Amino acid sequence: MKAVKLIVLITSMGLTLSGCVTNRTKSVAEERISLDYSPAYSVVVAPSSSVKVSKARAYQDGEEFVVSGQVKRMHRVKLPGHVDLAVCAPDGTPLAQETISIQGLHSNRKGVLYLPFRHRLAMVPPAGARIRLQYHAPASAKPELSCEKS
């Protein structure tokens, strides 16, 4: 009878510890910024405050150009902002500047929140173009996103 109790105890502890390790690995992986560095387009995320662009991808879809990804909100924000998008030619010339609204950013839910975004442009930039993204709070004094080399 003691052997059965010991086996049940060891199995329970093993399952509990493996669950902790699995959750730890997931949280560390979520902290990394995952960007799509395709050979045709590079995506650059400018640093920002409590809301960050955590994933970004740029690709051609037929006659349109799509920029998609997700923002990570660390805590509730009083006034939700937007993501600024700048498409820059390889020589630094601005090709397009857009503003992307993020649905659900004003949620009263506490804690970390991941929100997807997707924006379609009617133009397709040339190969080697750089796509710049940055979250912009409405009350911040940050200038408009530019194509300057950084």
Bigger pLDDT: 90 vs 137: 90
Tell me, yes or no, whether 65 and 98 share the same domain: yes
Q: Are 139 and 53 in contact (CB under 8 A)?
A: no
The span from the CA of 27 to the CA of 135, in Å, is: 22
Of residues 117 and 108, more confidence is placed in 117
Query: Does 143 map to a domain?
Result: no
Q: Say yes or no: 68 and 102 in one domain.
A: yes
Confidence of residue 19 (pLDDT cuts 50, 70, 90): low
Residues 116 and 54 in one domain: yes
Q: Which string of DSSP letters, residue by residue, matches 36-102?
A: ---SS-EEEE---SSEEEEEEEEEEETTEEEEEEEEEE-S--SS--EEEEEEE-TTS-EEEEEEEE-
Q: Is residue 74 part of a domain?
A: yes
Are 104 and 67 found together in one domain? yes
Query: Is the pTM above the cut of 0.75?
Result: no
For residues 16 and 60, state if they share a domain: no
User: What whole-number distance in Å separates Cα of residue 64 and Cα of residue 124?
Assistant: 6
- Residue 30: pLDDT band (50, 70, 90) is very low
Give CA torsion, residues 72, 75, 76, 77, to 10 deg: -70
pLDDT one-digit tens code per residue, 48-104? 667 888 888 888 888 889 999 998 888 777 777 788 899 998 888 899 998 888 887
